[in-house]
Chain A
Amino acid sequence: MTSEPVLTRAGDCNTLTGPWTLAALLPGLELLRRELDAAGKAGGGWDLSGVTRLDSAGAILLWRAWGGRLPADLVASDEQRHIFDRVAAVAGHEAPPPAPRVSPVAATGRYALRGLDQVHGLVALFGQLILDGAHLFRYRGEWPWREISANLYKSGAQALPVSALVGFLIGVTISYLSALQLKTFGADAFIVNILGISIIRELGPVLVAVLVAGRSGSAMTAQIGVMRVTEEIDALATMGISRTVRIIFPKVAALTLAMPLLVLWTSAVALVGGMLAALVQLDLAPAYFIDNLPRAVPVANLTIGLVKGMVFGFSIALIACHFGLNVRPNTESLSSHTTTSVVSAITTVIIIDALFAVFTRNLGLPQL
C-alpha cells in the first residue's frame, strides 16, 4: 500500500493510486497539480480503483482537472461516484460577495450620521441618569451605595499610586525646564507662579483625566460590554433591576466624586516635585515656596481645577458607559468600542478644557 497519492499515465489511461486526501495531497501538491492539469488536457480514461481513500478535497482537485464534469471513461466505485455527485451539486455556488465599496461622499455621510447617533445616545443616557437621580431622591432606600463605594475604590483609591508617580515626574520636569529659562532673566522667584498656575489650574486636571480615561474608562467599557455579550445585563433587567441605576449611575457618580480628589492629590504631589526641583536647581527654599504659593495663585484657580475635575470625571464615565452599552456580541466590536471610548473621552476632555479656558479667562489671575 502506498502512502502518497500517485498519478501514472500509461498510454491513454490515467491510473490513480494511494490515498487522495487533503493531508496526503499537501506535501507534493504543486507537482501533482501540474501533472493533473496536463493529464486533464490530454484526456483519456481515468481509473480510480487503486485509490485507497478519497475525500472531498481530493475529489474537488480531480473535478477541476476534469474541467467540471465526470470523464466519459471513468472507473470508480459507487462511494467515489457519490462523493463526485456531492461535488457536482455545489460546483455552481459563488462565494459570498465582498462588501460593496462605498464612495467617499457616502462614507463621510455615514460617518457623520454615526457620530450624530452617538451624540444622540449620549444625550439620552444623560437624560436617563437625571431621571434616575430624581427617582433615587424620592426613594432613598434604593441608593446603590455599595456599588458607588466599590467604584470609588476601584477608579479612585487604586489610581492614587500611578497618578502620584506621573504627577511628581511632570512637576519635576516643568520646574526644571522653567528654572533654566528663569535663571537667565534673574526671575527665579516666579517659579512659584508658573508652577502654581499651570499645575493647579491646567495640568493637574488634564493629566488625571487622561490617566483615568485610559485606566478606568476602558475598564468600564470592557466590563459593560462583556456583561452585554454574556447577557448579564438582560438577566438584571429580568429581575426588575434597572441597568442604569445599578450599573451606570454608580460608575458615573463614583468617578464624578473621585476625580476632584484625584486632581487635588496629583496637583499636590506635582507641586512637591516642582518644589524639590526648584530647591536643587535654583536653591529656592521650600518654606519660601509654600509661603508664596497662596499669594501667587488665587484660590479661584483651585476651584476651577476641582470643578474641571468633576466635569471631566462625569464625561469620561458617561462616554465609557455609553460605548459599553453599545457593544455588539462579537470580539471585534468589543475591541473597537473600547478604543473609541478612550479616544472620545480624551478628545471630549480636551474640548471641555478649551471651553473652560475661554469662559474663565477673567477669573483667578494674580493681581500684580
Chain B
Amino acid sequence: MNVGQPAIALAGIWTRYRDVVIHKDLDLTVEAGQVVGLVGGSGSGKTTLLREMLGLLRPARGRVSLFGFDLAQRDPFGQRAVRRRLGMLFQHGALFSALSVYDNIAFPLRELKCLDADWIRHLVHLKLSMVELEPRHGRLMPAELSGGMVKRVALARALALEPELLLLDEPTAGLDPDRSENFVRLIQQLQRELGFTVVMVTHDLDTLAGLATEVAVLAEQRIVAKGPLPEVMAVDHPFIRNFFCCERGLAAMQKANT
C-alpha cells in the first residue's frame, strides 16, 4: 500500500487522435477520498481521459499513475494488482450479456480463484442489497433489465472487488430525474460508508452538485479550473460561464443544499 500517494496523478498528458490534439500538457491530481466531477464540452476528451486513467488507452506523452503505480510499467502482476483496486461503471453498463445478473457480479470474484462459493454468494447478495436490488433479480439476464437496473447492476459489479477508486462514465445519463436522484444518493451513501475515491464524467448539473466535492473543468485541451463547485463557478472562462449559466448552476446548487 502506498499511503499518502494520490489516487490518480496525471502529469503532462498529450493525447492525439490522428492530427487532432485532444489533450495538451494536461495535469490532474485526485487525492484519496475525493469525489471529482470531470466536466467539459462534447468531444473535449473527457471519456478519453477516463480511459487513459484505466489504462485502456495510452497517452502519446505524459505519465498516468494510480496509487503511485505508473501504468506504463510492463509488470503484469503490478498491472493486475492496481486494476483490482479500481472499479469502473461504463456508460451503458457493459454487463456481460451471456451471464445472469448474479453471475455478472460474481465474475470478478470468481476470477480471484481463492474465494469459496459460499463467500462469493454472500458477497454477491451483499452487493445486490447495497444497490437496492433483491435476491430474485439475480436470476435475470441483462437484456431483461430496465435502464436504471442496468446501472445498478453495473455499479454492484464495479464494487465487487471493494475498489478504492471508482470511475463513473455518465452515471446518470439515460435515467429519468427521479431515478437519477436516487442513483446519486445511492453512490453518495456508498461513498460515505466505504470511503472510496470517485472520478466521474458527467453532463448533469444535479449529479455534479449532489455528488462532487471537487469539480475539474476540461476545456481548451487542458484542465482550466479545479476546486469546489462554488470556486469553479466563480472562475471567469467562456466555457464555465456557458456551462453553469448562472441560474441553472445556482438552482442545482440550491437543490443539492436543501
- Interface status of A11 (Cβ within 8 A of chain B): no
Would A96 and B126 count as touching, CB distance under 8 A?
no
A89 at the interface (CB under 8 A from B): yes
B141 touching A330, Cβ below 8 Å: yes
**A89-100 near B? 1/0 per residue, CB < 8 Å:** 111011110000
Are A90 and B1 within 8 A (Cβ)?
A: no
Contact status A86-B114, CB under 8 Å = no
**B98→A86 contact, CB < 8 A:** no
With A90-B126, A328-B143, A330-B141 already in contact, the answer to whether A64 and B97 are too (CB < 8 A) is no
Interface contact tally, CB-CB below 8 A = 80
CB distance A86 to B126 under 8 Å?
A: yes
The answer for the CA separation of A276 and B115 in the assembled complex, in Å, is: 66
Known contacts A19-B1, A23-B85; A60/B123 CB under 8 A? yes
B3, B97, B126: the one within 8 Å of A56 (CB)? B126
Contact: A96 with B139, CB < 8 Å?
A: yes
Residues B162 and A90 in contact, CB atoms below 8 Å apart: no
A152–B122 CA distance with the chains assembled, in angstroms: 56
Closest to A19 in B: B1
Contacting pair A330 B126 (CB below 8 A):
no
Q: Which residues 46-80 of A sit at the B interface, judged by CB distance below 8 A?
A: 55-57, 60-61, 63-64, 79
The answer to whether A330 and B97 touch across the interface, beta carbons within 8 angstroms, is yes
**How many residues belonging to B are interface residues under a CB distance threshold of 8 Å?**
37
Q: A89 to B129, Cβ gap below 8 A? A: yes
Tell which of B84, B114, B143 touches A23, judged by Cβ atoms closer than 8 Å.
B84
B250 CB to nearest chain A CB (Å): 35
* B124-154 near A? 1/0 per residue, CB < 8 Å: 1111111000010011011100000000000
Q: A330 contacts which chain B residues (CB < 8 A)?
A: 97-98, 141-143
**Considering the chains assembled together, what is the distance between the CA atoms of A163 and B143 in angstroms?**
40
Q: For the complex, give the distance between the alpha carbons of A331 and B119 in Å.
A: 29
Query: Which residues of chain A have C-beta atoms less than 8 A from B247's C-beta?
Result: none
Known: A1-B3, A22-B162. A60 touches B126 (CB 8 A): yes
Question: In chain A, what residue has the closest Cβ to B136?
Answer: A96
Partner of A22, one of B100, B124, B161: B161
* In the complex, chain B residues 88-108 whose Cβ is within 8 Å of any chain A Cβ: 96-98, 100, 102
Q: CA of A95 to CA of B139 in the docked complex: distance in angstroms?
A: 9
Known: A87-B126, A330-B97. A60 touches B139 (CB 8 A): no
Query: How far in angstroms is the closest Cβ of chain A from B191?
Result: 13
Residue B121 CB within 8 A of the other chain: yes
Contact B98 A60 (CB under 8 A): no
8 Å CB interface, A23-37 against B: 23-24, 26, 29-30
SS of A interface (majority): helix
Chain A residues numbered 282-340 whose CB sits less than 8 Å from any CB in chain B? 328-332
Question: From residue B156, how far is it (CB to closest CB) to chain A in Å?
Answer: 12
Q: Does A118 contact B (CB under 8 A)?
A: no
Nearest residue, chain A, Cβ from B2: A3
Q: How far is the CB of A74 from chain B (nearest CB, A)?
A: 19
Q: Which of A55, A64, A79 has the most CB of B within 10 A?
A: A55
A82 within 8 A of B: yes
- Does A15 sit at the interface, judged by CB under 8 A? no
Least CB distance, B154 to chain A, in whole angstroms: 16
Minimal beta-carbon separation of B87 from chain A (angstroms): 12
Closest to B140 in A: A96
Known: A3-B1, A23-B84, A26-B112. A90 touches B98 (CB 8 A): no
Say if the beta carbon of B118 comes within 8 Å of chain A.
yes
Q: Which residues of B contact A178 (CB under 8 A)?
A: none
Whole-angstrom CA separation of A250 from B114 in the bound complex: 54
Q: Provide 30 A-B residue pairs closer than 8 Å at the C-beta atoms, listed in order of the A residue.
A: A19-B1, A23-B81, A26-B112, A55-B194, A57-B115, A60-B119, A60-B126, A61-B119, A63-B122, A64-B119, A82-B193, A83-B193, A86-B129, A86-B130, A87-B122, A90-B126, A90-B128, A90-B129, A90-B135, A91-B122, A93-B135, A95-B102, A96-B100, A96-B135, A328-B143, A329-B143, A330-B97, A330-B98, A330-B142, A331-B97
Contacts beyond the supplied A64-B119, A86-B126: 6 A-B pairs with Cβ under 8 Å? A23-B85, A29-B114, A56-B127, A60-B126, A89-B129, A330-B142
